[in-house]
A and B are shown apart, each in its own frame.
Chain A
Amino acid sequence: MSADATQRAPQGRTLVAAPGSAGLARRAWPWLVAIVAALLLPWLFFDWSTRRHSGFALTMLSEIGLMAIFALSFNMQMGQAGLLSFGHAILFGLGGYCAAHTMNAIKAGAMWLPVELVPLVGGLGGLLFGVLFGYVATKQRATAFAMITMGLGELVAACALMFMGFFGGEGGISTDRVTGTSLFGVSYSSSWQVYCLVVAWTAIAVLLMRLQTQTPLGRMANATRDNFERAQFVGYDPRMVRFCQFALSGFFAGIGGGLYAIVYEIVTFDTVAAAKSATALLAAYIGGAGGFFGPFLGTIVVVLLQSGVSLLSNAWLLYVGVLFIIMVMYAPGGLVGIIAQHAPIARAGRLRELIVPYVRILLPGAFSVFGFVLLVELASFTTIGAAQGKAFKIGPHAVDPATAFPWLLGAAALIGGGLWLRLEARGFRARWDALIADAKAKGVML
Chain B
Amino acid sequence: MEVFLVSLLNGLVYGMLLFMLASGLTLILSMMGVLNFAHASAYMLGAYFAFTISQYIGFWPALVLAPLLCGAIGAAIEMYGLRRVHRNGHIAELLFTFGLALIIEKVVQMTWGLIPVPYRIPAGLDFPLFTVYGTQFPAYRAFMLLISALMFGAIWLGLTRTRIGLVIQAALHHPEMVGALGHNVPRVFTTVFAAGTALAGLAGVIGGNYHVTEPAMAFTMGPIVFVVVVFGGLGSLTGCFIASLLMGLIQTFAVVLDYSVADLLKWFGLTVTSATPFHEVLTVPLPRIGALLPYVLLVLILVFKPRGLMGTRDT
Q: B-contacting residues of A (Cβ < 8 Å)?
A: 78, 84, 136, 139-140, 142-144, 146-148, 150-152, 154-155, 158, 162-165, 274, 278, 281-282, 285, 289, 315, 317-318, 320-325, 328-329, 332, 379-380, 383-384
Contact = CB atoms under 8 A, between A and B. Distances in A.
A32 B314 CA distance: 47
Given A136-B299, A321-B106, A325-B99, A332 B88 contact: yes
Contact of A162 (B33, B288, B299): B288
B113 A144 contact: no
Interface in B157-185: none
A320 B315 contact: no
Contacts of A322: 99, 103
Size class of the contact patch on chain B:
35 or more
A84 to B, nearest CB: 6
A146 B113 CA distance: 34
Q: Which of A78, A144, A322, A328 has the most chain B CB within a 10 Å cutoff?
A: A328
Given A147-B315, A151-B296, A155-B295, 18 more contacts: A139-B303, A142-B315, A144-B302, A147-B298, A150-B226, A151-B227, A165-B280, A278-B98, A315-B106, A318-B107, A321-B100, A321-B102, A321-B103, A325-B96, A325-B99, A328-B92, A332-B88, A384-B109
A287 to B, nearest CB: 13
Contacts of B315: 142-144, 147
A315 to B, nearest CB: 6
Nearest to A165: B280
B96 A324 contact: yes
Contacts of A146: 35
A154 B292 CA distance: 8
Nearest to B109: A384
Nearest to A380: B110
* Complex A-B, nearest 4 residue pairs according to Cβ-Cβ distance, in ascending order: A324-B99, A321-B102, A143-B315, A321-B103
Interface of A is mostly: helix
Nearest to B279: A165
B131 interface: no
The main secondary structure of chain B at its interface with chain A is: helix
A184 B65 CA distance: 70
A374 to B, nearest CB: 14
A304 to B, nearest CB: 17
A320 B104 CA distance: 12
Nearest to A323: B99
Contact of B302 (A151, A329, A384): A151
23 contacts: A139-B303, A143-B90, A144-B230, A144-B302, A144-B315, A146-B35, A148-B302, A150-B223, A155-B292, A162-B284, A162-B288, A163-B280, A322-B103, A324-B95, A325-B96, A328-B95, A328-B96, A329-B81, A329-B85, A332-B88, A383-B110, A383-B111, A384-B110
Nearest to B107: A318
B142 to A, nearest CB: 32
A445 to B, nearest CB: 21
Interface in B228-269: 230
A162 B226 CA distance: 23
B230 A147 contact: yes
Contacts of B94: 84
A329 B84 contact: yes
Given A163-B281, A318-B107, A384-B110, A328 B299 contact: no
B287 interface: no
